[in-house]
């Protein structure tokens, strides 16, 4: 069965269907350059209502491991690959990628040159796209006819904290499981609360620290969260990751903007401005903090991306508050930036963030 990928600029790619053959998808088309980690990527809630094209030439070759999902449901609108492997004999695999997408009602397109598509997106910028079962006659009408997906809230909060363990409340904007796991692995107890929670409600959990999670969409779409974030940052040690970082910036008056084609991959070098140390990081974002706007706020830039110089980290001098644009929890990706969580846990003891945080 043929499937048609049509971009807002009218360009079209034709390939073969996989995943849920009957379903069509529409949203922003992004490319991901990771050589591995397709399962963590398609289950990452930050890809809500996006179509993901993988530049790696072979996808699906180690199957699906039920333990690595980043969320229980898939928010992605479609998956686009060059070549799909239809069998997998890896020892952790329990099903094929094709079958996994079918069960989760996500359509796929295989057999197109995703590197050519990526070059096109790098030249024209991120744009809307539709994966359809028939050629498209009217892009806008078809786009409007296809349903948007909604986020499924993460698991319920855990029981009251044990006095011996630091208790972290994660504010859930679309939290990835690996963030919670990274905190639990470091001895924390974690409660996940909806982003609509009131300060009073959060305080009732008696947190030792707050983590603002990653999440989908434009950070401008979350104005209601900003007063809460300011209140939390003034009361608790606080860390932000990706969307959480962007919202922390906005809460203190900085601006965010859309990158031309986003950062979606596993080998983005970032530099710690205090130490000069460079980490290879996993990234997944289309928006970024405007560095010029940070100078008008109490925040300080701590880290930058070496490919394009974009802002990768912030701190609030005098308060145990810091954030990163990249994904220290990785999954997929390199784990070397995981020290962000160690610094966060140090901060819980009400220490000022060290200059290299």
Binding-site entries for L-glutamine: 46, 215, 217, 243, 246, 284, 287
Give which of 203, 202, 200, 150 is closest to 171, Cα–Cα: 202
Dihedral sign computed on CA atoms, order 228, 232, 234, 235: positive
Contacts of ligand GLN in 286-305 (CB under 6 A): 286-287
Query: Cβ of residue 241: shortest distance to ligand GLN, in angstroms?
Result: 7
For residues 321 and 342, what is the distance between their CA atoms, to the nearest angstrom?
Answer: 14
The DSSP call for residue 45 is G
By CB under 6 A, residue 243 contacts ligand GLN: yes
Of 6 and 46, nearer to ligand GLN (C-beta) is 46
Question: CA dihedral defined by 175, 180, 182, 185, rounded to 10 degrees?
Answer: -170
Give which of 242, 184, 335, 250 is closest to 46, Cα–Cα: 242
By CB under 6 A, residue 3 contacts ligand GLN: no
Query: For this structure, is 329 an active site residue?
Result: yes
Give which of 303, 271, 267, 304 is closest to 282, Cα–Cα: 267
- Determine contact, residues 240/219, Cβ cutoff 8 Å: no
By CB under 6 A, residue 126 contacts ligand GLN: no
Query: Cβ of residue 299: shortest distance to ligand GLN, in angstroms?
Result: 17
- Determine contact, residues 29/128, Cβ cutoff 8 Å: yes
Query: For this structure, is 305 an active site residue?
Result: no
By CB under 6 A, residue 208 contacts ligand GLN: no
Catalytic residue among 120, 264, 329, 331: 329
By CB under 6 A, residue 217 contacts ligand GLN: yes
By CB under 6 A, residue 285 contacts ligand GLN: yes
By CB under 6 A, residue 333 contacts ligand GLN: no
Q: Which of 26, 42, 51, 242 binds ligand GLN (CB under 6 A)?
A: 242
Start-to-end Cα distance in the chain:
52
Query: Cβ of residue 203: shortest distance to ligand GLN, in angstroms?
Result: 25
Which residues form the interface with ligand GLN (CB under 6 A)? Answer: 46, 214-217, 242-243, 284-287
């Amino acid at each position: 069965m043929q499937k048609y990928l049509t971009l807002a600029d009218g360009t079209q790619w034709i390939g073969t269907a996989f995943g849920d053959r009957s379903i069509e998808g529409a949203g922003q088309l992004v490319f991901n350059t990771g050589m591995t980690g397709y399962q963590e990527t398609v289950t990452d809630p930050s890809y809500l209502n996006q179509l993901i094209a993988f530049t790696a030439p072979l996808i699906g070759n180690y199957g699906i491991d039920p333990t690595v999902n980043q969320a229980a449901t898939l928010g992605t609108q479609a998956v686009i690959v060059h070549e799909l492997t239809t069998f997998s004999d890896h020892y952790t695999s329990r099903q094929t990628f094709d079958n996994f997408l079918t069960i989760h009602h996500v359509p796929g397109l295989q057999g197109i040159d995703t590197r050519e598509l990526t070059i096109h997106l790098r030249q024209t910028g991120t744009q809307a796209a539709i994966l359809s079962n028939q050629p498209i006659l009217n892009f806008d009408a078809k786009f409007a006819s296809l349903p948007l997906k909604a986020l499924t809230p993460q698991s319920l909060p855990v029981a009251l904290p044990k006095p011996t363990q630091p208790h972290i409340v994660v504010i859930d904007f679309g939290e990835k499981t690996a963030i919670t796991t990274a905190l639990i692995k470091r001895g924390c107890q974690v409660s996940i609360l909806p982003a609509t929670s009131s300060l009073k409600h959060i305080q009732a959990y008696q947190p030792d620290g707050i983590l603002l999670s990653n999440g989908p969409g434009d950070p401008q779409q979350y104005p209601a969260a900003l007063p809460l974030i300011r209140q939390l940052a003034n009361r608790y040690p606080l860390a932000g990751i990706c969307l959480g970082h962007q919202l922390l910036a906005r809460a203190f008056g900085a601006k965010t903007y859309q990158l031309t084609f986003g950062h979606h991959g596993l080998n983005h070098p970032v530099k710690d401005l205090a130490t000069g140390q460079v980490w290879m990081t996993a990234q997944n974002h289309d928006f970024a903090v405007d560095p010029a706007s940070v100078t008008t706020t109490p925040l300080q830039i701590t880290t930058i991306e070496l490919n394009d110089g974009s802002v990768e980290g912030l701190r609030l001098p005098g308060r145990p508050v810091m954030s990163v644009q990249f994904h220290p929890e990785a999954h997929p990706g390199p784990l070397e930036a995981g020290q962000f969580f160690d610094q966060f846990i140090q901060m819980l003891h009400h220490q000022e963030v060290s200059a290299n945080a």
